[in-house]
Structure 1
Amino acid sequence: MKILIIGAGALGGYFGARLAHAGQDVTFLLRPRRAQHIAAHGLVVESPAFGNLTIPAPQVVSRESLAAAPTHYDAILVGCKAYDLDDTMDAFASAVGPTTMIVPLLNGMVHLDRLASRFAPDNVLGGFCLISAALDDAGRVQHLNDTHQLVFGERDGRMSERVLALQACFDDAVCDAIASPRILSQMWEKWVQIATAAGMTCLMRASIGTIVSSGGSAFANALFDECAAVAADAGAALSAESAARIRAVICNPDSAVTASMMKDLERGARVEADHLIGALIRARDAARGSATQRDGGGALALLDLVLLHLQSYERRFLQ
């Protein structure tokens, strides 16, 4: 199976390196600067939990060379930020054939429609990953936790031959790749968890543990309830088990976790405010038949307060 990895940052670099190390036919679509760095130093992954590795000379293609000599790939892993998706689709468009599987690893859900509109619905799988990773100043992928899960599947829940074939590509790779028959429900679960964690840590500018130990459990649970209600209105109600698991994460007084959005915000970078929070609010208002920012008691809904905070940051620092 020919696999194209979009970028070699934290996500693409980690999972692409694991696949390449397992002997799979992997190519990285890179910008010139990253391509030059990897040509000089290799693709380096450092993982205390699962071992370090270096791919000395991975296969690399640029958007220009791909456009000049189009090659259709069997699978494309896309892990860009939502605000970069249009440009990213332009970059890999020449790699998409009639049977290509596009596996998006973005948070949220609305990117699925954007991908299906640009290409074809059958090209687009559901997908997400559970990993904490980042590039360090030397361009190495740093794996920061003990989880490296990649989940994907047909959006209609079929366990198709192509999805099983993609899962088989990971058999010898040091990561957990799972073909799922309920990928959309799982994407909703992750969206709820990420939106809650991002909302609370960005709004309070603190880790989950600091917020909770400062008396913020009720706030965390109330924000979770708002997010979970949107999922339920969309037909993706969380199970009692999933809800309990997420509540345990967001109410852990010992947690040092901060959402990646907060890290972006604190370094003055662009954030996925509209894709992660704005889209959730639009889904809420569409289900209720009206756009309101206030609950029955007249208080501003927490989701709207989070979005207001993030949009104010964008207006102040990024415009």
Structure 2
Amino acid sequence: MRVLVVGAGAVGGYFGGRMLAAGRDVTFLVRPQRAALLAKNGLVIKSPVADLSLAAPPTVLSEQLQPGYDLIILSCKAYDLDDAINSFAPGMGEHTLILPLLNGMRHLDTLEQRFGKERVLGGQCAISSTVNADGAILHLAASHTLTFGPRDGVVTERVKAALAVMSDAGFDPVLSENILQSMWEKWVLLASLAASTSLMRSAIGDILEAPGGQQFVLAMLDECRSIAAAAAYPPSAPFEEYLQKLLTAKGSPLTASMFRDIENHARVEADQIIGNLIARGQQLGLQEPGLPLLRVAYIHLKAYEARSRRMASSVTK
């Protein structure tokens, strides 16, 4: 099975690197700058599980791409999705499957409109990783699970082949026959965490120390959970218990990556993680004055985006 990994960053580079080290046919679709860095330094992964260094991993630029890949793994930021689609589209073959690892659900609609529902798998990953200044991938915790599956629950031979190419490759692949449940659960978690920590500009433990802090966090969780329930994907009992413990842990340093992006004056996935969740809630009948905390968090994030654009514009004048 020929695998094309779009990008070689913290997520795609990690899982693709592990598969490449296991002898799988993996190519990284990258921009010229990243291609040059990989050619110079190789693909380096520093991990508590096992370090990895691959000299000159196979890379390709978009303009060089030819059809024939069996599986395309997509792990870009949601705001880069359109550019990513245009970059990997030339590599699509007649039976190519796309495995997106983006958060939320809006990307599924976009990919389906472009390539057809039967081509687009559901997927999510549980990994904490980043890329340092030298281009090395830093795997920050032992967890490295990639969960995927057909959105209609029908496991075809192509889906089984995708599982096979990821198996015994140094991470934990999970084939799910109910991948949308897993994706909704992760969305509830991420939206609750992102909305809470971004709005309060604090870690969960700091919010819990404030008067009414725990009630605020749990109310945010309840709004997110209500949308999943309206969509017929309420969190399962075990995941509900996990959420409660995670979001009420005293002294927890936990923050969302969205909050950290704000702290670093970087772009955020406001529309994809919070805005689209609110929109789906509206479509499912949760109208005004419902979802007040999520709406305030979304206004906060959009104001941050507007200010960032204004500040960037003033610098260039």
Distance 1:157 1:212 in 2: 39
1:59-70 pair list within 5 angstroms: 59-66=58-65, 70=66
Q: State the secondary structure of the residue aligned to 1:91.
A: helix
Q: Is the 8 A contact 1:5 1:78 kept in 2?
A: yes
Q: Which residue among 209, 212, 216 is the counterpart of 2:205? A: 209
Q: Distance in 2 between matches of 1:182 and 1:289?
A: 25
What SS is found at the alignment partner of 1:28?
strand
TM-score normalised to the size of structure 2?
Answer: 0.95
Q: Partner residue of 2:314? A: none
Separation (CA, whole Å) in 2 of partners of 1:276 and 1:59: 33
How far apart, CA to CA, are the structure 2 residues paired with 1:56 and 1:285?
50
Alignment of 1:219-298 (within 5 A): 219-288=216-285, 290=287, 292=288, 294-295=289-290
When normalised by structure 1's length, the TM-score is 0.94
Query: Is residue 2:43 matched to residue 1:52?
Result: no
| Corresponding residue SS for 2:284 | helix
1: distance between equivalents of 2:198 and 2:177? Answer: 33
Structure 2: 5+ residue runs without aligned partners?
Answer: 311-317
> In the alignment, residue 251 of structure 2 is paired with which amino acid?
D
Which residue identity does 2:51 align to in structure 1? N
Deviation, 1:17, is 0.6
**Separation in 2 of the partners of 1:163 and 1:256?**
38
Q: CA deviation at 1:154?
A: 0.3
- Taking the aligned partners of 2:224 and 2:68, their CA distance within structure 1 comes to 38
233-242 vs 78-87, greater mean Cα deviation: 233-242
| Segment of structure 1 superposing worse, 207-216 or 128-137 | 207-216
Between the aligned partners of 1:251 and 1:289, the Cα distance in structure 2 is 26
Q: Report the equivalent of 1:81.
A: 77
Alignment equivalent of 1:303, drawn from 294, 298, 304: 294
- 1:276 is displaced (CA, Å) by 0.5
Task: State the alpha-carbon separation in 2 of the partners of residues 194 and 231 from structure 1.
Answer: 13
Please report how far the alpha carbon of residue 169 of structure 1 lies from its aligned counterpart in structure 2 after TM superposition: 1.4
Please point out which of 281, 293, 317 is paired with 2:308: 317
- Superposed, 1:115-154 pairs within 5 Å as 115-154=111-150
Q: Secondary structure at the match of 2:167?
A: coil
**What is the one-letter code of the residue matched to 1:314?**
E
Inter-partner Cα distance in structure 2 for 1:191 and 1:266: 22
Report sequence identity in percent.
46
- Unaligned runs of at least 5 residues, structure 1: none
Q: 1:289 deviation in Å?
A: 6.6
C-alpha distance in 2, partners of 1:248/1:198? 17
User: Residue 159 of structure 1: CA displacement?
Assistant: 2.2
Tell me, what secondary structure is at the counterpart of 1:151? strand
State the distance in 1 between where 2:266 and 2:103 align. 17
Question: Which aligned pairs between 1:95-134 and structure 2 lie closer than 5 A?
Answer: 95-134=91-130
Q: 1: CA distance between counterparts of 2:277 and 2:193?
A: 14
Amino acid at match of 2:19: L
CA RMSD of aligned residues (A): 1.2
Please give the secondary structure, in 2, of the residue aligned with 1:150: strand
Q: Give the drift of 1:119.
A: 0.9
Q: Matches of 1:275 and 1:103 in 2, distance apart?
A: 18
Q: 1:13 and 1:214 mapped to 2: Cα distance?
A: 39
